[in-house]
Every structure is written in structure tokens, then in C-alpha cells.
Amino acid sequence: MTKKIKLSELGSLFGSLDIEALEGVKIEGDVELDLGQMGLNPQMAYALGHETVQLAFHLMNISRILGYPVDQLPGAAVQQKPARLSNLIESKFSVARNEEWKTPIQEVVLGATSSDGGSRKSTVTIGGENALPYYFDSPMPHRNHITMDVFDMPINMAKAVKSNYEDVINSPAEWAKKVVRDFGADMVTIHLISTDPNIKDTSPKDAAKTVEEVLQAVDVPIVIGGSGNPEKDPAVLEKAAEVAEGERCLIASASLNLDYARIAEAAKKYNHVVLSWTQLEINAQKELNRKLMKQCGVARENIIMDPTTAALGYGLDYAYTNMERIRLAGLTGDTELNFPMSSGTTNAWGAREAWMISSPLKEDSDWGPREYRGPIWEIVTGLTLSLAGNDLFMMMSPTAVQVLKEITQTLYGLKETEQVNIDNWVSAVV
């Protein structure tokens, strides 16, 4: 049973057998293995280190081939329970940068200062990416920005949001001031919803006055939104663009189901940026962008896309993947899709989980207090889209704005904080 071999003899011993697995095994020194008693003892192998362990395995296999009843050997335990190694196998991790992302996203400036023919104190630049957001392949040139909603008339709002705006709900100018001063909005969106013929049918001229008031109230760049009525919006936005001449506002929006050419024309004439809005359909987005550029002559640096935001639980899967596909298409060379993106993140409040007092279903676990559900619904909706490549967020809840800023700016690399040691998180008392 006891057969001693020296490692130096292995070569000749195995010489007659065709064992590929032995190739490349380096044997240093001369070690005596005792097949019968200790040769396959895991402790022994452990002490000898990694290469010898491999050798021991092969040796055992060879022994079996040679007819030794290895499975009954004391060392056969090795088979079920491979030996321990004494040292970590040294290893270096590396991964390549993505070489397919060769086309940068268009950079777009919103707002114009006095030196550029406007009256804004600051401007906002978005776009310019060469990679998916926050990826190591290429740093994002500009952080995400947030524009907060202001309406030209009191509207229905979830309770958790409304409490922030009760004092300004009748004055768009005061409302705009408040979101910039108190809630850290980078920009303000004035929604001219009262112009809808089904609401108040405010005239384009009167609506434009509201735009002027907002421009005077704040010095950040603004977004001008219509009511969403496809018949009325072109006239409303045209007039608004006129009174805001030179301010490089974002005009929201041109879409395929209205007279986009008229909106594009107004944006060109009065120096604004066009929001190209489509509904969750990448090919429609391509088509509209192409029409804006080729047919209407809108310059590339004046286009931002809104591919539609659906709320968490209500189609966010489509919105997310649509945006991710658009961004990837842009980065890999589709010059009809490589524009910055904007999200109507406020849509998150459409989800009943955001506003309903409790679940209508008795089988559900308790939904808890709704005042905490709403803002996080808006945050998660926005955050998910930020990871897909969205640049600009149209938002409503001050809490949501604050948290979304914190996480997007952290991933962007702006947040310096003290180091946290997570090595013992397992035993942390939380």
C-alpha cells in the first residue's frame, strides 16, 4: 500500500501516460509524497501550497488509473473536500472602457445672460456625455439639473405637495421666486395650463404676460410649457416665445400631433430651445428630431428631447428602456438621437401609491403614511431615468428635488463627504 515517490520522479513515472493536465505544473524543490499515508492528506497538501495540491490531485487520478484503490485510501477525502490553500491566489481585476461610444451627446445651453442677449444671471448647460451617466468610461461633463413646476392658475395637487405652495398658488411670479429661493430649483417651468379651451381659454397674449412676470421674478433660465392642447399650444407658445425673445427658454413642446413647424419657427426667430416630445416610441422620436432639423431648420444645439416619463409602477419600464435605448443609440452614432433628455418627473404623482390615503385592496400590506410615499415615488422615478441618461428633471416636490439632487450629484462626483468605514456593517447597531 505504501508507495513513495519523489516529485522529481513524477515526470518519468507519468511519461508513458498522456496527461495534458500536468502540463505547466511547476515543481520546485524535492518533496516526498507518501501515497499511502500522507500523500493525499489535505493537511499535508495545505502545507505544501497550491501547486503541490494540484499535483496531489493529479497524482491521485494517476493512482486510480494505475489501479490503486484510491477511493479507499485515507487521503481519498480530498475528492469530496478539496484542500485548503495557504495563500490567496494573486489576481488583478481589469475591464476595458467601452470603445463603441464614439459619438458625444449634443451640448445644449439654456438661458442667456446679458452678454448673449438675454437677462438671466446664470445659464444651464446639459448634454455633452460620452458614456452612460456616471460610468467610469468618461466623466459626465455637466451635472443633472432640475426645473421646478409653476402653474399659471391654482391646480389640484397631492396634499404632500400642496402644503409647500399654498401661499403662492395665485401668483406665478411669487411661486417661481419661492422654488428658486427656498427649494434650490436650477430652473423654473411655467405651465400655461389656463390657456386650454376646456379650462380657462386664456388668450396667448394674457398667457405671455405671465411669462414676462416670471422672467422678471427670477433670473434663472426658464421652461415655457403649454396646456397640452394641440390646437391651442402653437399660438400660445409662439406668443410666449416672442415676449421672451433672446432668453433661450426651453419651449415645451413640439410634438408630432400638433403644428410643430410653427413652434420650431418661433423658437428659431426668438432664440429659444425646442423640446421635442414623443410618447415612448424611439422611432417617433427619431422622426420628430429629423423633421425639426431637416424640415424646420432647427440647429442641433437647440434641441432637447422628452421621450415621455411614465410613473414608477405605471410604465416606468417602458420609459426607462426607451431612454436607455435612445441614449445608447446616440452614443453609438445615431445623430438623430444624440440629444440631451428631459423628464416630466412630476408624472410620478399620477401613481396612486404616491397620493392615495391607503391601499384600496385589503390584501395589501399597510401602505403607511402617504406624505412619505409621494416624494419617494417622484425620487425613484427620476433616479431610475437619470441612470438611463436623462439630463433635466421637471419636478414638483421640494423633498424629492433635494434628494434627487443629492444622489445625482453624488454619482456625478460633486459630493465630498467624510469617509465611512463599512467593514463592520454586519455588527452595526441600527
Partner 1 sequence: MKLNSPLQVYKYLPQINCAECGDATCMAFAAHLIDRSKKLENCPPILKDEFKKKYIELQTLLAPEIRQVTIGIGENAKNIGGDDVIYRHQLTFFNPTAFAYDVWDTMPEQELVERVNKISNFRKFYVGKFLKVDMVAVRCVSGDPLKFAGAVKKVAETTKLPLVLCSFDPAALRAALEIVKDRRPLLYAATENNWGDVAELAQSYKVPVVLFSPDLDKLKSIGATFQEMGIKDLVLDPGTYPQGKQLKESFERFVKLRRAGIKEGQKDIAFPIMSVPLNAWLVYKDAVTASYWETVLASVFIVRYADVMILHSLEPYAMLPEVHLRDTIYTDPRTPVKVAPGVNQVGTPTKDSPVIVTTNFALTYYTVESDLSSNKINCYLASVDTDGIGVEAAVAGGQLTAAKINDTFAKANFDLKEKTSHGTLILPGLAARLQGDVEDATGLRVMIGPPDSGRIPGWMEKNWPPKQK
Binding residues for partner 1 restricted to 159-198, rule: CB under 8 A: 198
In angstroms, the CA 283 to CA 288 distance is 9
Q: Which is nearer to partner 1, 69 or 413 (CB)?
A: 413
Scan residues 3-62 and list those touching partner 1 (CB under 8 A): 50
Encoded one letter per residue, x for contact with partner 1 by CB under 8 A and - for no contact, window 295-334 reads ---------------x-xxxxxxx-xx--xx--x------
Does residue number 81 form part of the binding site for partner 1 (CB under 8 A)? yes
Grid coordinates given for 246: 433672446
CB 412 within 8 A of CB 363: no
Q: Which is nearer to partner 1, 270 or 393 (CB)?
A: 393
In angstroms, the CA 397 to CA 379 distance is 9
DSSP 127-169: E--SSSTT-TTS--SS--EEEEEEESS-----HHHHTTTTTTT
Q: Which is nearer to partner 1, 12 or 80 (CB)?
A: 80
In angstroms, the CA 89 to CA 67 distance is 33
Does residue number 74 form part of the binding site for partner 1 (CB under 8 A)? no
Q: Which is nearer to partner 1, 8 or 86 (CB)?
A: 86
As measured in angstroms, the least distance from the Cβ of 212 to partner 1 is: 29
Scan residues 337-356 and list those touching partner 1 (CB under 8 A): 350-353, 355-356
In angstroms, the CA 368 to CA 265 distance is 50
Judged by CB under 8 A, which of 18, 23, 71, 363 binds partner 1?
Answer: 363
DSSP 95-129: -PPPTT--SPPPEEEE---GGGTS--S--EEEE--
As measured in angstroms, the least distance from the Cβ of 23 to partner 1 is: 17
As measured in angstroms, the least distance from the Cβ of 63 to partner 1 is: 19
Length of the chain: 430
DSSP 45-111: HHHH-HHHHHHHHHHHHHHHHTT--GGGSGGGHHHHSPPPPSSPPP-----PPPTT--SPPPEEEE-
Does residue number 85 form part of the binding site for partner 1 (CB under 8 A)? yes
Does residue number 357 form part of the binding site for partner 1 (CB under 8 A)? no
Judged by CB under 8 A, which of 36, 134, 174, 262 binds partner 1?
Answer: 134
Does residue number 387 form part of the binding site for partner 1 (CB under 8 A)? yes
Q: Which is nearer to partner 1, 126 or 354 (CB)?
A: 354
Grid coordinates given for 142: 455637466
As measured in angstroms, the least distance from the Cβ of 76 to partner 1 is: 15
Q: Which is nearer to partner 1, 1 or 430 (CB)?
A: 430
Scan residues 214-243 and list those touching partner 1 (CB under 8 A): none
Q: Which is nearer to partner 1, 175 or 377 (CB)?
A: 377
Grid coordinates given for 154: 391654482
Does residue number 200 form part of the binding site for partner 1 (CB under 8 A)? no
Residue type, 400: A
CA 301 to chain centroid: 23
Q: Which is nearer to partner 1, 164 or 384 (CB)?
A: 384
Judged by CB under 8 A, which of 376, 392, 394, 401 binds partner 1?
Answer: 376
In angstroms, the CA 167 to CA 173 distance is 12
Does residue number 92 form part of the binding site for partner 1 (CB under 8 A)? yes
